[in-house]
Structures are given as C-alpha cells and as structure tokens.
A and B are shown apart, each in its own frame.
Chain A
Amino acid sequence: MDTMRRIAGGMVLVACLSGCGYNDLQGLDEDTKAAWSEVVNQYQRRADLIPNLVATVKGYAAHEKDTLEGVVQARAQATGVQITPELLNDPEAFERYRQAQAGLTSALGRLIAIAENYPNLKADQNFRDLQSQLEGTENRIAVARKRYIDRVAEYNKMVRYFPTNLTAKFLLHLEERPNFAVADEKSVATPPQVKF
C-alpha cells in the first residue's frame, strides 16, 4: 500500500507541475534568452563590418566627413551599450540598446545613400563585397528579431495567463520581457536598396 501511495503521489505531483506550466515556463525562458543571443550576435556582426566599410568609402569620398563620422559615432554608441543578462529584464536598458542599434541603422542608410553619387565607389569590388555582406547581415538581424519577437510574445503570454502567472510570479520570479515594436520592425525588415 505504501509503495502504491508513493507512486501515485509522485505522479500527481509531476502532473501538477506540468499543469501549472513550470516546465513550459522554464523552457520558454531559455528560448527567449537563446533568441536574444542570436539578435545580439547579428548586431555584433554588423558592427564588425563597419570599420572596413568606412575605410573603403573614405578612399573615394573622403570629404563626406559628416556622414562618415556619423556612422563611426553611431557604431561606438551601439557597441558601448553593455550587454548583460539583466538587459532582458530591464525595459529601459533594452530600449537604450534598441535605440542605439536603430541609430546605427539610419547612419548606415545615409552612408549607402551617398555612395550613389560616386560611380567609382559603386564599381569598387571591395565596396560591392562589403555591401552584400552588410545586406546579408541586415537580413539575418531581421530574422533574428522576428524569432525573438515570436518567442517573447509566447513567453509573455505564459507569464500573464492564469494559472501559469502564479508559477511565474511566486515560484520562478519571472517577469514580462520587453519586445521590439512592430513599427520599427518594418524599417529593419527592408534592407537599404542599392541599384548597380
């Protein structure tokens, strides 16, 4: 009788834990973190491309100082935001990071736009290569952001829905996480177009 009770009790306990979303919350918590790492990773990849890009443009359009410096400054600002695991749980830090990256996106857009005025620059093999790498990276950023948005939406739902919100609040101490707004998602999803 004792063994039976123990087995039955164990099963009830396990059923309860899966019922109140303990495992699902833990899994989603990890998923959002992984999706976030991918976003950070791709933004970093973009930042790594910029010194080469700026150097190449300088070779043909050195007097476009404002635009070039704008990119360098925006990059410094974007890479200056410290990325800690707490960033995900702090909406303000998240917003700072998002804004710094958005600043870099628009500075890069201006840089690509002035390239239109320099036929020699546009024909430069090195510039074309950097251009396609930049396009590729922007596309990966868009994909990584989209995945993060989907994951966090799922996670936030679990954190707010009843009864999983009780598990999230009292057992796991998980809070809602900030997400990218769809409006600025649109601007990122369309990479700067350059016609050769």
Chain B
Amino acid sequence: MKPARTNLVWRGPVRLFLWFALLSVAVPLFALEVPPLTGRVVDSAHVLPASDVDWLTAALKAHEEKTGNQVAVLIVPSLEGEPLEEYAHRVATSWKLGRRGTDNGVLLLIAVKERRLRIEVGYGLEGTLTDLRSAHIIRDEIVPRFKAGDIPAGVRAGTEAILKTIEGTYEAKNRSTARRGWGYETDALQLVFVGVVVGFLAGMVLSQGLRRTRALFGSVLAYLVAQSAGVTLGVVAAAVTAFLLWLVLRTNRGSWSRGTYDDWTWYSSRGGGWSGGSSDSGFSGGGGDFGGGGASGNW
C-alpha cells in the first residue's frame, strides 16, 4: 500500500522533470544553428576546394576595401527542415553583414542536400541588387553550373555577378571615420547615468566629513554601479560624479583649491581613453540589417 502511494505522488513531478529534460534537449534541434563567422566564405559542407575559397575571399575582400559592401558566402550541408528564407534571414542578421546605417551586406546561401540557394540582400542594396536581378543571377549564372555538377564554378560565377551588380553603389569610408562612434549601447550609458545620480545623491546626503571624502565616496559608488558596463565607463561615471560633487560643494563652501583641480584632471585623463584598435585580420559584420530582400532558387 505504501509504496504504491509514494509512486503516485512521485510520478507527476518525475514525469514533468523528464518532459523538461527532453524539451531542453529537443528545442535546440529544431532551429538550425548559425555557424560562426570565420571568414567571408564559410563552407561547412566542404564542397569548395581551398584554392576557390582563397580566390573568393580575395575577391570579396578587395570589393569591400573599394566599396564598403560586405558580401559573404555560406554553404551548409543541410537546412534540417528549416525554411530556406527564414534561415538565410537569421544568418544574415546575426552576422550583421554591411555597415550599420547603410545596410550594404549580401549573403549567398547554398544548402547542398535540399539543392536550394538564396541571395539575401541588405536594405541598402535592395535598389541595385533587386529581387529580379538576384533571381536572374541565380537562374542564369548559378543554377546551370550547379545542374552540371560544378558547384565551385557556380559559386564563383554567382559571386562575380553579385559584385559586378553592386559595384559603385557605395564608397568605402575612411577606416577612422567608419568607426561606430561611441560604440556603446544605450543600456551602458544608462548605467553610467544611474551611477552618477546614485553617487551624487549619496555624496550629498553624507553631511559629515571633508569635501574630499564625500566626493571620493560618491565617485566610488558611481563606479560600482557603472562598472558592470565596463571598467572604462565606470571610471567615466566616477569622474563625472566627482566633478559634480566638487562643483556643488565648491559653491557651497570655500573656494576651488589647486589640489581638487589636479584630482579632476587625473580622473578625466583616466576616463578619456576609449579602448579601440580591433584587429584587421578577422572579418566581422559591420551592423547591417536585412529586410527579406533577394531571391531563392533550386537546382
């Protein structure tokens, strides 16, 4: 009698647990993973000879240096049941091909097992590499070669046609100006702001102590809040807080002493240096966006 009862009590939770365990394994299987962006040509199906990969990479790189357009090629062995269009859009948006704002990226996706392919075009190139032009490239340049069994030749011809079409649409920007400005998301800046407010208020509330201690206390608090967005931003928040506290406390009592000024310049020089200098060798997307433009085909 007793064992039966325990069984009844436990069966529910155990079954639930098993379901969850099963789900957590099953869910990732449904969505095909986006492969890491290891280069301009990602051939996870291993159908391109190394010489072709090198040739394509060189051509795509030269094109980007001239025009700023980011074109990438992805060949997957299978779509594993996912619709081609959805997968292409997912890859293109997570790779963020093209520059942010100009959205000048293109993805050529080929699924070997399904014998399907797609040219996914970023917002900024939809005007030149139209759906129609993409369809023509697929139909006239790529598919005949694929049908003849020569996938490398099809990829080469298709890529060349894409590059020719989008030649002259944009000019490559100077590398220094093309940097993405501050490069921090608004969330990070909000954290800095909150840090400054918290630190400032804390510094004000603390009625005891020297100006120096109060400013220090406030800026340390600001740093603690903002540093989860990065050490540099934490230092910036601390510097701003210290400056504000000094400003207010100075008008409050006493005059601006030489030492405080030196402190402030020390803070600001620490906070002023934005980290930069990403390596040039690795290829990465520039933040471009895709709206579903392009064309699909099969062979």
Q: Which residues of A are at the interface with B, using a C-beta cutoff of 8 A?
A: 1, 3-4, 7-8, 11-12, 14-15, 18, 38, 128-129, 132-133, 135-137, 139-144, 189-191, 195
Cβ-closest chain A residue relative to B201: A8
Q: Are B204 and A8 in contact (CB under 8 A)?
A: yes
Looking at B38-46, B72-80, B287-295, the stretch in contact with chain A turns out to be: B287-295
Task: Offer 10 A-B interface pairs, CB within 8 angstroms, sorted by A.
Answer: A4-B252, A11-B197, A12-B201, A129-B135, A132-B295, A135-B295, A135-B296, A136-B132, A136-B135, A141-B292
Q: Are A189 and B292 in contact (CB under 8 A)?
A: no
Chain A residues, Cβ within 8 Å of B134:
132, 136
Q: Are A132 and B132 in contact (CB under 8 A)?
A: yes
Chain B residues, Cβ within 8 Å of A144:
291-292
Min CB gap B242→A, angstroms: 15
Q: Are B86 and A137 in contact (CB under 8 A)?
A: no
Give residues of chain B (275-299) contacting chain A, Cβ–Cβ below 8 Å.
290-296, 298
> Is B257's beta carbon under 8 Å from chain A?
no
Q: Roughly how many angstroms separate A133 CA and B295 CA in the complex, as a whole number?
A: 8
> Is B178's beta carbon under 8 Å from chain A?
no
Our pick among B139, B194, B201, B292 for the contact of A139 (Cβ within 8 Å) is B292
Q: Are B294 and A136 in contact (CB under 8 A)?
A: yes
Q: Roughly how many angstroms separate A129 CA and B251 CA in the complex, as a whole number?
A: 74
Q: Roughly how many angstroms separate A172 CA and B83 CA in the complex, as a whole number?
A: 41
> Is B190's beta carbon under 8 Å from chain A?
yes
Q: Are A4 and B131 in contact (CB under 8 A)?
A: no
Chain B residues, Cβ within 8 Å of A132:
131-132, 134-135, 295
> Is B52's beta carbon under 8 Å from chain A?
no
Cβ-closest chain B residue relative to A18: B190
> Is B223's beta carbon under 8 Å from chain A?
no
Chain B residues, Cβ within 8 Å of A3:
248, 251
> Is B114's beta carbon under 8 Å from chain A?
no
Give residues of chain B (244-289) contacting chain A, Cβ–Cβ below 8 Å.
244, 248, 251-252
Our pick among A15, A128, A189 for the contact of B86 (Cβ within 8 Å) is A189
Q: Are B131 and A143 in contact (CB under 8 A)?
A: no
Given contacts A38-B291, A136-B295, A143-B89, contact A7 B252 (CB under 8 A): no
Given contacts A3-B248, A140-B292, contact A133 B89 (CB under 8 A): no
Q: Are A4 and B248 in contact (CB under 8 A)?
A: yes
Given contacts A18-B190, A142-B85, A190-B83, contact A7 B248 (CB under 8 A): yes
Query: What secondary structure prevails in chain B residues at the interface with A?
Result: helix
**What per-residue 1/0 map shows which CB atoms of B111-131 lie under 8 Å from chain A?**
000000000000000000001
Chain A residues, Cβ within 8 Å of B83:
189-190
Q: Roughly how many angstroms separate A28 CA and B197 CA in the complex, as a whole number?
A: 25
Q: Are B295 and A11 in contact (CB under 8 A)?
A: no
Our pick among B190, B201, B251, B293 for the contact of A11 (Cβ within 8 Å) is B201
Chain A residues, Cβ within 8 Å of B252:
1, 4
Q: Roughly how many angstroms separate A137 CA and B85 CA in the complex, as a whole number?
A: 12
Our pick among A11, A38, A128, A139 for the contact of B85 (Cβ within 8 Å) is A139
Min CB gap B67→A, angstroms: 23
Q: Are B200 and A8 in contact (CB under 8 A)?
A: yes
Q: Roughly how many angstroms separate A139 CA and B135 CA in the complex, as a whole number?
A: 14
Q: Roughly how many angstroms separate A38 CA and B86 CA in the complex, as a whole number?
A: 18
Q: Roughly how many angstroms separate A174 CA and B218 CA in the complex, as a whole number?
A: 38
Min CB gap A12→B, angstroms: 8
Chain A residues, Cβ within 8 Å of B204:
4, 8
Min CB gap A48→B, angstroms: 13
**What per-residue 1/0 map shows which CB atoms of B178-197 lie under 8 Å from chain A?**
00000000000010001001
Q: Are B251 and A7 in contact (CB under 8 A)?
A: no
Q: Are B291 and A140 in contact (CB under 8 A)?
A: yes
Chain B residues, Cβ within 8 Å of A11:
197, 200-201
Q: Are A129 and B132 in contact (CB under 8 A)?
A: yes
Chain B residues, Cβ within 8 Å of A14:
197
Q: Roughly how many angstroms separate A8 CA and B293 CA in the complex, as a whole number?
A: 50
Q: Are A7 and B293 in contact (CB under 8 A)?
A: no
Chain A residues, Cβ within 8 Å of B291:
38, 140, 143-144
Min CB gap B3→A, angstroms: 45
Q: Roughly how many angstroms separate A190 CA and B190 CA in the complex, as a whole number?
A: 40
Min CB gap A142→B, angstroms: 6
Chain A residues, Cβ within 8 Å of B251:
3-4
Chain A residues, Cβ within 8 Å of B139:
128
Q: Roughly how many angstroms separate A11 CA and B196 CA in the complex, as a whole number?
A: 10
Our pick among B89, B194, B200, B293 for the contact of A136 (Cβ within 8 Å) is B293
